[in-house]
Amino acid sequence: MKIIPLHTSQKSIINRAIQHNREAQKEIFELHSPKMLGVCRQYVKDNHHAEDLMLSGFLKVFTHLHKFKHEGSFEGWIRRVMINTCLSYLRKKNPIKPTDEEYVYHDYATENLESTSVDDIQKLIDGLPEGYKMVFNLFAIEGYKHNEIAEELGITVSTSKSQLFKARKWLQENYRKMNLISKGHE
């Protein structure tokens, strides 16, 4: 049994994909598309729309593949391209109106979501207003810092923080409502 080091194999696939080798491109697509569709789905409410955004993201990935320097994670690089594609789309659709309001941080989130399914969590996120959703996704799921979010969305750091605070409050309230409804049904 021949063992091919993963990074060597990935590098060679990437290099072939840069040379417009369709097989290599398909290989990359099949390997990363399920996760990337999951990322895109966080920003838009239906799978078809998310798939369109994902395809648009992969088109950018293959067009700019020669810019990848093999220094970081390839998946992380693709993920970032996907997030930027989604944010560009949302910003074109609904330009973010920054509100530089002061906020007071209160930790309402004490609930444990271990028993909640991914679909229910996605439904909760889908219900968030667009501005809150972008900041929450970037902060809570992608792990961006407030200054990175501010730079990415073209808003101030305090706006990013206030948007996150409102998103968190909105989610907790709606999570409680959702639990109450489900318990009531039971």
Partner 1 sequence: MNNFEKSIQGKMQGREIQPSASAWERLSSQLDAQEQKKKRGWFFYIGYAASILLLVSLFFFMNEEGDNETAIPENTIVKDDFKIPETNQPKEIELLPSETDVIVENRNDKLPVKSKSIEPFEEVKTDSRVAFKKENKNKVDKALKKTTIIPLKNEIVIAETTIDVDKNIKSTPKLKRITNSTISVDSDALLYAVTHSKEEIRSYYEKYKVSRSDVLKRIEKELKRSNLKIDPNTILAEVERDVKEESFQNNFYRFIKKRVSDVAVAIANRNN
- Using alpha carbons, select from 90, 104, 106, 107 the residue that is nearest to residue 158: 104
Structure tokens that stand for 143 in this block: 């792990």
Rounded (10°) CA dihedral 18, 19, 20, 26: -60
- Residue from 10, 16, 18, 33 binding partner 1 (CB under 8 A): 33
Q: State in angstroms the smallest separation of the CB of 140 from partner 1.
A: 4
| Exposure of 40 in the CB half-sphere (CA atoms within 13 A) | 26
| Contact call for residue 41 and partner 1 (CB under 8 A) | yes
Q: State in angstroms the smallest separation of the CB of 95 from partner 1.
A: 26
Tell me 139's DSSP state. Answer: I
- Residue from 10, 16, 18, 37 binding partner 1 (CB under 8 A): 37
Q: Which amino acid is at 56?
A: S
Which chain residues interact with partner 1 by CB under 8 A?
Answer: 20, 22, 25-26, 29-30, 33-35, 37-38, 41-42, 47, 50-51, 54-55, 58-59, 62-63, 107-114, 116, 118, 121-122, 125, 139-143, 168, 171-172
